[in-house]
Amino acid sequence: MDSQNWKHSLLYITFLLAILHLTQNHFCHKLFFANQTVRVKKNPDLPLRFRSDGTFKILQVADMHYGTGTSVTRCRDVLASEFEFCSDLNTTRFLKRIILAENPDFLAFTGDNIFGSSSPDAAESLFRAFGPVMESGLPWAAVLGNHDQESTMDREELMSLISLMDYSVSQINPSDDDLINPSKGGVMTKIDGFGNYNLRVYGAPGSMLANSTVLNLFFLDSGDRSVYQGIRTYGWIKESQLNWLRRVSHEFQGQKRDPLHPTDAISTMKPPALAFFHIPIPEIPHLFYKEIIGQFQEAVACSRVNSGVLQAFVSMGDVKAVFIGHDHTNDFCGNLDGIWFCYGGGFGYHGYGKAGWPRRARIILAELQKGKKSWMDVQRIMTWKRLDDEKMSKIDEQILWQSR
């Protein structure tokens, strides 16, 4: 190649690099088709992993019951002195405040994110409800409750949209590969509902388990309303969902560890798991007669159908705590057969609550064990709640699980 052609080639490459640079800086989140702007989803830094200080913090938001995000959707069950200026915007303000106060690594929304009957446009309500977490740039995931689909979108459409929103790691359902059942000759099985998925949380950066799953987050669709034996009742988690969950859990038995550290190549213990869904299981009322941490203030609105969720969790052995919503003025944690079941407490102001009882959210903190040279597996899982009062009061701190 002569010197002149070489110079032309260099100029051409420089030109292409300049165009690429401009495109990345000015149009990185937009595509143009036939004069129409199509927005591209902003993705969080993945995979989910523990911080370099060995912690992973989750903010659970239960029952936002978001409407239109304006003064039209007024607050329910607040003091008379608070009512005049109270609306959906108080829910938005609370979400922004608690994100700043707790600086979580991840947010889990456990259903009734919008209040369908107060949402003329479901998509618009979803964008307004999740606006603060999308603005934060933090990864987040959601499941549906029994009110989300009462507007202009069905449950599949809602989960599809949620999965496409900025920084969301929500999934409509497991991938096709995850639904293949080896026990049935590799035949793909159908799974009930929309919003069943597993999120892996990896070890701390630079640690021996940086490339290994040390915590699993299971999300399940508990449904909305159904009819059982001619009686109208709340939805429940179906057998197909539990079968999928068992297979996922089993895959982590003796998972391979970082090959750079052959002495720790195989773990005989499955990583601990946390589960998130909306409607409580039928065993929750039994906790009224047991020791709990928090307040049991209303009857448990569960399904008449007991599909064996508790037995499935016990048999799996890795689920250490379950986080639910639905009953807004219950905010307690109670233990059933060695597994903690915790309510988030009502978060949203347009949903029912109790006057003089602040809206609240739950925090879950997982901490790693410190080895001689590196962070290791999860050592402890804790929880507490934050109130939407002047001091963002922290209450009911407790240990849910710790390794032996």
Which domain CATH number covers 381? 3.60.21.10
Q: 315 phi and psi, to 5 degrees?
A: -70, -30
- Same-domain check for residues 95 and 19: no
- The answer, yes or no, to whether residue 267 has pLDDT greater than 80, is no
Residues of the domain holding 182: 44-402
Grade residue 91 by pLDDT with cuts at 50, 70 and 90.
very high
CB contact set of 110 (below 8 Å; sequence gap of 6+): 60, 61, 62, 63, 142, 143, 145, 276, 277, 278, 323, 324, 325, 344
pLDDT for the residue 28: 43
Structure confidence by residue, pLDDT tens digits, 231-260: 999 999 999 999 999 999 999 876 655 544
H helices within 62-130, ranges in order?
A: 80-83, 88-102, 122-129
State the Cα–Cα distance between residues 283 and 336, nearest whole angstrom.
Answer: 8
The yes-or-no verdict on residue 2 having pLDDT over 60 is no
Same structural domain, 86 and 105 = yes
Give the residue from 229, 115, 242, 268 showing the smallest Cα distance to 189.
242
Does 266 score more than 50 pLDDT? no
List C-alpha distances in Å: 274 to 60, 137, 168, 280, 381: 12, 23, 18, 15, 10
Same-domain status, 32 and 103: no
Asked whether residue 27 falls in the same domain as residue 79, the answer is: no
Helix (H/G/I), strand (E/B), else coil: 232: strand
Q: Give 175's pLDDT tier (boundaries 50, 70, 90).
A: confident
Statement: the pTM of the whole predicted model exceeds 0.85: yes
Residues 224 and 338 in one domain: yes
Count of structural domains, the chain: 2
270-313 pLDDT, tens digit each? 999 999 999 999 999 999 999 999 999 999 999 999 999 999 99
What's the whole-number mean pLDDT along residues 11-28? Answer: 49
* 309: Cβ contacts below 8 Å, ≥ 6 apart: 236, 237, 242, 281
At 263, is the pLDDT very low, low, confident or very high (cuts 50, 70, 90)? very low
pLDDT in the model for residue 268: 53
Return mean pLDDT, the chain.
89
